[in-house]
Amino acid sequence: MNPLKSGTIDLVLLSALQDRPRYGLEILEHIQVRAGGQFEMKEGSLYPALHRLVRAGWVEGEWQPSTQGGAPRKVYHLTDSGLGALQDKRQEWQGLRGAVDALLLGQPA
């Protein structure tokens, strides 16, 4: 398992929220499953990152009652601005990925 690098955390979190709202631990589980267990993200990194995305206006959170009768959970979802940020970050990632692939394969980008 590899820790997520700081430059990829926003992209990963925005991607995890693109198809539907999720609460914190559900976000972590989604990332683990979708990445095949390759990434390690702890709650201590998740919540500060989510709060930063909320301050940026890319994500909103709202308290909802638990479907299992427990305490309410804060559920996060993308805003329209967050969807735009996700698209921008995907383009940045594709450019970076292309440049790194070119270096690794010895080919021009």
Q: For residue 78, which of 5, 32, 22 has the smallest C-alpha distance?
A: 22
Instruction: Decide the pairing of beta strands 39-40 and 73-78.
Output: unpaired
Average pLDDT over residues 21-47: 92
For 4, the token pair is: 């997520």
Domain extent listing, the chain: 2-105
The hierarchical CATH code for the domain 2-105 is: 1.10.10.10
What is the per-residue pLDDT across 38-92, written as a single tens digit (0 to 9) for each? 888 889 999 999 999 999 999 999 999 887 888 899 999 999 999 999 999 999 9
Average pLDDT over residues 5-20: 90
Average pLDDT over residues 12-28: 96
For 72, the token pair is: 């309410």
* pLDDT, position 84: 97
The contacts of residue 11 (CB under 8 Å, 6+ apart) are 86, 89, 90, 93
For 40, the token pair is: 């390690």
What is the pTM for the complete model shown? 0.86
